[in-house]
Amino acid sequence: MHQRPTAPTVTTGRRRMARKALLAASALGVVTALMAPVRAGAAPAPAAPSAATPLAANGQLSVCGRQLCNASGQAVALNGMSTHGTQWYAKCVTDGSLDALAQDWRSDVLRVSTYVQEGGYETDPAGFTARAQKFVDAAHARGMYAVIDWHMLTPGDPNANLARAKTFFTAMAKKYKNHPGVLYEIANEPSGVSWSAIKSYAEQIIPVIRAEDPDAVVLVGTRAWSSFGVSEGSNESEVVNNPVNASNIMYTFHFYAASHREEYLNTLDRASDRLPVFVTEFGTQNYAGEGANDFTMSQRYLDLMKRKKISWTNWNYSDDHRSGAVFKTGTCNGSTWAGTGVLKEAGVWIRDRIRQ
């Protein structure tokens, strides 16, 4: 893999009414001013999307059976992009780049990746919380869903950052408790730790989120860099036989097509027959997001996900030098984002798949 959480009934009812009001407001045209691009450094209140957007069309999401479903109970699959770490590549998440993602790429969702270590959240909790909220708000203003990614990586035990996670998700859930456009990803890539430890972590974080936001979908990372344990010699059975004790959740799976071959593809196929799965990160390269693209293997994964309505976000929406970053190096210093001229080979390929 890429190595680098029940409120009183009356309160829940009011929250659902507030979420519906946000969506209804767009149909009345009252959010035109809020749809204006976000100025650098600004952190606007969440805006309702315009009527033609994925968020307006689908509304509040929930898990129904093994599927992600919209407000009408119909199975949906979100396709979109993940940011790189916002401590490094915030310059790639701008008014122009998000306009391109929503309008030119026709993306349904933006995954906002807040690294915990590596110069991330632990160095400035308030600052990185505000930054994540700014990017989530900007996605909402363009009618996209936002996955709030707690990008724990090293250490691989999510319990090592339990207190920080509680603080972060309390703040995020308080802000977005009335908004239908968020999904909470509580542990990016656990590694070197048992499924039971990950499950224990999830069962402590999910109630923190649910105390503020009882309706939103929560995404739970799986063992061995979210491979359902395959990268450490296990498989999805450990989750199937011992699921997290919570409702309205999905489990995450990550793959990098040039490294993760038949065993991983078959695991995704089997797991999604038994569990609700969201592929919150994948690449067409090797597990480090580097090297040659394997578009043939990548297409096999995408065909499977399309057939089974599995949502996905691709890694990553930046101009990092690695082949997995969609923009050519230096793009984020400029102002041109739309079209294919600014994209690497992987960027051209994934843009085309999102637009389909």
Hey, which residues are catalytic here? Answer: 189, 281
Q: Residues with Cβ < 8 Å from 319, sequence gap 6 or more?
A: 89, 92, 325, 327, 328, 329, 330, 331, 332
| Cα–chain center distance at 35 | 22
What is the token pair recorded at 174? 């308080």
Instruction: Give dist(CA 316, CA 333) in Å, integer.
Output: 17
Place of tokens 């009356």: 10
Instruction: Give dist(CA 267, CA 192) in Å, integer.
Output: 19
Instruction: Give dist(CA 332, CA 169) in Å, integer.
Output: 29
Query: Of 293, 4, 50, 344, whose CA–CA distance to 149 is shortest?
Result: 4
Half-sphere exposure of 117 (CA within 13 A, CB side): 14
Amino acid occupying residue 234: S
- Quick one: 295 exposed, middle or buried, by C-beta within 10 A (0-12, 13-18, 19+)? middle
What is the token pair recorded at 156? 């691989």
Instruction: Give dist(CA 213, CA 249) in Å, integer.
Output: 13
What b-and-e string marks burial along 30-69, b requiring 16 or more CB atoms within 10 Å of the CB? ebeebeeebeeeeeeebbbbbeebbbbbbbbbbbeebbbb
Instruction: Give dist(CA 146, CA 137) in Å, integer.
Output: 8
Q: Judge whether 139 and 105 are in contact, CB under 8 Å.
A: no
Phi, psi of 280 (to 5 degrees): -85, -5
What is the token pair recorded at 148? 């709030």
